[in-house]
Amino acid sequence: QVQLVQSGADVKKPGASVKVSCTASGYTFTGYYMHWVRQTPGQGLEWMAWINPNGGGTKYAQKFQGRITVTRDTSITTAYMELSGLRSDDTAVYFCAREGDSGGTDWYAFDIWGQGTMLTVSS
Amino acid sequence: QSALTQPPSASGSPGQSVTISCTGTSSDVGVYNHVSWYQQHPGKAPKLMIYEVSKRPSGVPDRFSGSKSGNTVSLTVSGLQAEDEADYYCCSYVGTTPYVFGTGTTVTVL
């Protein structure tokens, strides 16, 4: 079945970097954009970035420009999100999510989500 | 780009209907029909319920419907069931940003 499996929870100190992975299965990895969305404790959802696995093109939210890098490895159908200069307010659950598409028509919506990766930033 | 505005909470009895609003501006919801809705149960990942304002993905019950008027989109859940109790978020494509989520609404089934 179509699924996204993310790496496990992590704890980092302020100023460090984290790299979260998202492994896709059950569909053609290069056929769908992959997005990263985070959810801070008790708060709502926040869009962070997307990557086009077919070519590697990326787009980042202005808020994270300079701190975020999204990459992919098509040989293992995995996308990565690296966030640097971590602060306590980066403590959140990070999700990868596939952008839906049907017959080449973009849904502009996220139809498959990973299980989430809890990141705790604490000294 | 500010978050879209949703009411913090909504409720209804089993079998009733509940409607959640999501208000944006003429720069996002008002100009794009690329609005989606997500259901999130505690500790779980969001689930896509509606895309392109009113389209349902395969497997989503037709009790869930979406609409748009001006700068406001709405999600209606008809025939409320216990399992509909969850947080709901709207999301709009806004071009350059390019996506912004709503503030979220907690639906309680009384």
Q: pLDDT at residue B27 above 90?
A: no
pLDDT tens readout for residues B49-101: 999 999 999 999 999 999 999 999 999 999 999 999 999 999 999 988 899 99
CB atoms B52 and A108 under 8 Å: yes
Average pLDDT score over residue span B4-30: 95
What's the CA angle centered on A63, arms A54 and A85, to 5 degrees?
Answer: 90
pLDDT of the residue at B97: 80
pLDDT of the residue at B1: 74
CB atoms B57 and A61 under 8 Å: no
- Of B34, B36, B48, which to mutate for an interface test with A (greatest number of A Cβ within 10 Å)? B48
pLDDT of the residue at B52: 95
Q: How far is A61 from chain B (nearest CA, A)?
A: 6
**Concatenated DSSP letters of A49-117:** EEE-TTT--EEE-GGGTTTEEEEEEGGGTEEEEEE-S--GGG-EEEEEEEEEEETTEEEEEEEEE---E
Dihedral angle sign, alpha carbons of residues A24, A109, A20, A60? positive
pLDDT of the residue at B96: 80
- Of B38, B99, B101, which to mutate for an interface test with A (greatest number of A Cβ within 10 Å)? B99
